[in-house]
Amino acid sequence: MHQSGRKPKLLKDYAPPNYLIEEVELDIALDPKATRVTAKLRLRPNPKVATGGRPLVLDGESLTLQSLALNGERLSPEDYELKEGSLSIASVPAQPFTLEIVTLCDPDANTALSGLYRSRGTYCTQCEPEGFRRINYFIDRPDVLAVYTVRIEADRATTPVLLSNGNPV
């Protein structure tokens, strides 16, 4: 097993994802204890997979789900299943759709050095491999590629410099 406790993924077990994420809009409000992450995902069924009625399963660890909306309609807890390590939505459209997920994560409590964490007061991210699941629910695997738009908000007094991909924000 890996240090994280997850079982290794083997090439012989590979199956293409049921859904693809084309675009991701992230709005991140940094807070040492409760960072709010709003993710708007544009998804579509994978044409290489017969998805007929398959649930959308998103990976997630150490997150608090605040809200979930499918094509602008807020989902109730009866519309999805939230369990340790995943968020599943049984019924999603057969055509492209938008999913908005709002989560809270705790960078100070994250000692896994994966996802969003703080080190000596500095916010850091490590998303490969499988670290994005500690920031928001996601199909967190390397063959799901998307175009990202990211907005980061922080308190200027405690976080005077913001970088995204090494570029000043």
Q: 1 falls in which pLDDT band (50, 70, 90)?
A: very low
Average pLDDT on 21-45 reads 97
CB 136 within 8 A of CB 101: yes
Q: List, in order, residues 6 or more apart from 88 with CB less than 8 Å away.
A: 55, 56, 57, 58, 80, 81, 82
pTM confidence score: 0.91
Residues across the chain: 169
Model confidence band, residue 163 (pLDDT cutoffs 50, 70, 90) = confident
pLDDT at 98 over 70: yes
CATH number (3.40.50.970, 3.40.50.150, 2.60.40.1730, 3.90.1150.10) of 11-155 reads: 2.60.40.1730
pLDDT in tens, 103-156: 999 999 999 999 999 999 999 999 988 999 999 999 999 889 999 999 999 999
Interatomic CA distance for residues 21 and 139, integer angstroms: 8
Question: How many CB atoms are closer than 10 A to CB 17?
Answer: 17
pLDDT of residue 9: 78
Distance CA 34, CA 151 (A): 17
Tokens of 116: 């969003």
